[in-house]
């Protein structure tokens, strides 16, 4: 039932008017602050009005007491009568004998509390019901002088404050509603954009990204983080898909040849020598397939970052020297000369030792296999001030055309016949994956003549 109700509101365009807890909190907070301000203004205004009226009443009391002292009670009665006749709205006076008989003024009902009243709020029944602030004084002859001020001014002030408060609340409510609707629209627009991106991803479009208007905006930061996550997901899925395609592409041929060799070995009329040759061919194809599969898995783990848990701090210079010692016979057998320049001090970096050995070994193997007899193979290890370590393997062979240097770093790419035959075409792909795992890059440059392969990795 609730779902149908939500669908009704959404289908009729009311989704963007959904209540917001933040909006309700903001409105309540503003109204509460307005009410508190109203109380403060009212109390302050009430005190100012009351103090002003009391000061005026005290001045009149003192003046009438002086008249009594200088001119007598009759003059005071005349002054009270004159003030009553010309009094403004809210001003009231009364003069009584010591026995409480009225002598002058519009306050005619005597109350014992008049004696010594110090700005006291009193309710009078005569001549008409009214509530006054009363200032009373007893004159020397016992007569009682009463000066009153109506609360009408305060009531008028209260009404003005109340009307102003209602008007302010109406303005605040309208402004809060408008701000809430605009905020609601902007928030939902951002949420819709993120949701649309998620829907595109769910639909198979791995290239979908959230539009970022301002990275300092909270939604901009969320969008940026989401895009980083999506790029990582796309990278992982693409790597998995590539590995799958690569396995299907490159293992089909050796497995087919292996199957054919085994079929020849199983032929009834095959001789023992033919069977052994077929089994040996199948064995070689199996080795080739296993080597290719292992290389593909190494590339996939490196490119997706799954090999980071195997990284450790090692002396890269010592690692390179170890590999150079291992490949020196290979280089010499190829009729080439090997030159090495390694810093005497340790070059410490956090690396994946096995993958780095494989990457440098691939570069040395390529140089020995493709540079040709008489070539010079040079190996350099350098460290920058920012911790970047550069491992360079250069040769003076035939090199790689500039327009092919990016392509040869891809899987299964062989430059036949210029670069010879054989191999799986995964050597430089492993080196590039190693560079990516270490936050660096593989650059293939012209060594004039020959090829200069620079493997950059980030140090500790």
Per-residue model confidence (pLDDT) at position 127: 65
* Cβ-contact 323, 360 below 8 angstroms: yes
Residues 6+ apart with CB under 8 A from 53: 133, 149, 153
- Residues of the chain short of pLDDT 70, as ranges, are 1-23, 26, 126-127, 213-215, 235-236, 238-251, 253, 291-292, 295-307, 411-425, 459-460
Q: Can you give the residue ranges of every domain in the chain?
A: 13-208, 218-304, 308-458
Tokens for 274? 């033919």
Per-residue model confidence (pLDDT) at position 1: 43
Q: What is the CATH number of domain 308-458?
A: 3.30.565.10
Per-residue model confidence (pLDDT) at position 17: 42
- One DSSP character per residue, 140-182 reads TTS-EEEEEEETHHHHHHHHHHHHHHHHHHHHHHHHHHHHHHH
The pTM of the full predicted model, rounded to 2 decimals, is 0.48
Residues 14-47 have pLDDT tens digits of 444 444 566 677 677 777 877 787 788 778 877 8
Q: What kind and span of H or E run contains 218?
A: helix 218-265
Tokens for 377? 């193979």
Architecture of the domain whose range is 13-208: 2-Layer Sandwich (3.30)
Tokens for 332? 């010499």
Per-residue model confidence (pLDDT) at position 18: 46
Fold of 218-304: Helix Hairpins (1.10.287)
Using CB atoms within 10 A of its CB, is residue 414 exposed (0-12), middle (13-18) or buried (19+)?
middle
Per-residue model confidence (pLDDT) at position 245: 62
Per-residue model confidence (pLDDT) at position 10: 47
């Amino acid at each position: 039932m609730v779902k149908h109700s939500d669908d009704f509101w959404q289908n009729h365009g009311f989704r963007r008017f959904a209540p917001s807890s933040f909006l309700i909190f903001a409105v309540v907070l503003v109204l509460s602050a307005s009410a508190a301000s109203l109380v403060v203004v009212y109390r302050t205004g009430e005190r100012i009005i009351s103090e002003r009226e009391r000061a005026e009443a005290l001045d009149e009391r003192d003046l009438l007491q002086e008249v009594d002292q200088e001119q007598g009670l009759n003059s005071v009665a005349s002054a009270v009568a004159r003030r009553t006749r010309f009094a403004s709205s809210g001003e009231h006076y009364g003069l009584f004998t010591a026995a409480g008989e009225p002598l002058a003024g519009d306050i005619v009902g005597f109350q014992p509390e008049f004696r010594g009243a110090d700005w006291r709020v009193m309710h009078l029944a005569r001549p008409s019901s009214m509530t006054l602030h009363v200032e009373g004084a007893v004159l020397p002859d016992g007569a009682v002088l009463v000066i009153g001020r109506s609360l009408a001014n305060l009531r008028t002030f209260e009404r003005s404050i109340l009307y102003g408060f209602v008007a302010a609340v109406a303005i605040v409510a309208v402004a809060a509603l408008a701000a809430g609707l605009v905020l609601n629209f902007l928030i939902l627009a951002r949420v819709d954009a993120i949701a649309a991106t998620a829907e595109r991803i769910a639909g198979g479009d791995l290239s979908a990204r959230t539009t970022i208007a301002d990275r300092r905006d909270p939604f901009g930061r969320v969008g940026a983080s989401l895009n980083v996550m999506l790029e990582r997901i796309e990278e992982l899925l693409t790597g998995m898909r590539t590995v799958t395609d690569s396995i299907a592409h490159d293992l089909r041929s050796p497995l087919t040849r292996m199957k054919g060799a085994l079929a020849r070995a199983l032929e009834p009329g095959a001789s023992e020598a033919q069977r052994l040759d077929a089994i040996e061919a199948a064995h070689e194809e199996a080795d080739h397939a296993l080597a290719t599969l292992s290389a593909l898995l190494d590339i996939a783990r490196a490119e997706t970052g799954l090999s980071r848990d195997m990284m450790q701090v090692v002396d890269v210079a010592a690692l390179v020297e170890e590999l150079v010692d291992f490949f020196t016979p290979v280089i010499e057998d190829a009729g080439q000369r090997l030159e090495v320049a390694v810093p005497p001090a340790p070059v410490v970096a956090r690396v994946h030792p096995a993958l780095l050995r494989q990457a440098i070994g691939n570069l040395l193997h390529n140089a020995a296999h493709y540079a040709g007899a008489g070539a010079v193979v040079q190996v350099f290890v350098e460290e920058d001030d920012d911790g970047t370590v550069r491992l360079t393997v250069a040769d003076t062979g035939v090199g790689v055309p500039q327009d092919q240097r990016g392509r040869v770093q891809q899987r299964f790419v062989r430059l036949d016949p210029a670069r010879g035959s054989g191999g799986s075409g995964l050597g430089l792909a492993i080196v590039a994956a190693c560079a990516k795992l270490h936050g660096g890059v593989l650059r293939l440059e012209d060594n004039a003549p020959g090829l200069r392969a620079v493997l950059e990795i980030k140090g500790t």
